[in-house]
Amino acid sequence: MATLSLTPREREQVDRMRREILEPSRAGCVLVRFTASWCGPCRQLAPLMEKAVAEAGDPRLREVVIDIDANPLIASQFQIQSVPTVYAVVNGQPVDGFIGARSASELKAFIQRQLALLPPADGPTGVAPLVEAALRALEEGDARMAADALGALSREHPDRADIIGGYARALLALGQVDGAEAALRALPADVRDEQVQKARAQLELARAFGPVGDRASLEARVAADPGDLEARFDLSAALFAAGNRDGAADQLLEIIRRDAGWREGAARARLLKLFEAAGHADPWTAATRRRLSQLLFA
């Protein structure tokens, strides 16, 4: 959802939807109950729903109540036509729901149906999909969601190097260099996990390049003004911090194409740093170095 043109009230609703619905749904099922103060059936459903959730007693299940008059943007995102409406949200997507009041037995059956579809709360089969979803969010540019999910998982599984490494990468993508360094410091120096190696290389680059800016705002600046080389330069760092080295290289090469001497060759110097981090034997380094040579010697 684009947020640049939203009002402060709408931004609050977007943040609430992310914080209370989307992020928790990565670790379980969120029952979103849409209601209104003027709705009689809503008042009938509320205590039955609360009791059914409490009796389920499952930590993977939570209920969120959304007043459609106070939160019209959230209601529009879920395309609410009438209340009460209840949606079950898992991994950021509505997977089931109903409209209108329901009996206690019907609510119990509805909840049990949602819980039956979730992975076990403990064990690798329960953790692996959550880690995969969080890392996928990071690769897709949603560093905030990835950091929240991986941060929670790291507290539950402090021995999982892949989770710690992914969490550090997400923090770096948000510009939280000190937090990423602290997370990595808790791991043994000889850990060879892929996520940890990426995080350590990106941390080194972050220390060398300075703070990483907000990726979305930088992308918007470049789209609005392709000649904004400063924005492209900052965007290259944000993209690399998110694990997108192709995107980072594209921005740096575009700077060189437009003005090879910009800031005394800062784009070329940064690209050479990326080559060092990736390793000179890496096929990506060789391919990108050829692109650089074609620009410089065309």
Positions marked catalytic = 39, 42
Looking from the CA of 268 toward its CB, the CA atoms found within 13 Å total 15
C-beta neighbour count of 190 within 10 angstroms: 5
Q: How far apart are the first and last CA of the chain?
A: 41
How far apart are the C-alpha atoms of 185 and 117, rounded to whole Å?
37
Q: What is the DSSP string of 260-287?
A: TTGGGTHHHHHHHHHHHHH-TTSHHHHH
Enter the DSSP assignment of 32. E
26: tokens are 């990565």
**Ordered alpha helix ranges (H), the chain:** 8-16, 40-56, 72-77, 104-116, 124-139, 143-156, 161-173, 177-185, 194-209, 215-224, 229-241, 245-258, 266-278, 283-297
Prior bond of 24 cis (ω within 30°): no
Contact criterion met (CB below 8 Å) for 84 and 39 = yes
How far apart are the C-alpha atoms of 14 and 6, rounded to whole Å?
9
CA-only gyration radius of the chain, Å: 23
C-alpha torsion 118→169→2→85, nearest 10: 20
How far apart are the C-alpha atoms of 25 and 130, rounded to whole Å?
10
Task: Kindly list the distances between the CA atom of residue 184 and the CA atoms of 165, 189, 193, in Å, as whole numbers in the listed order.
Answer: 7, 9, 12
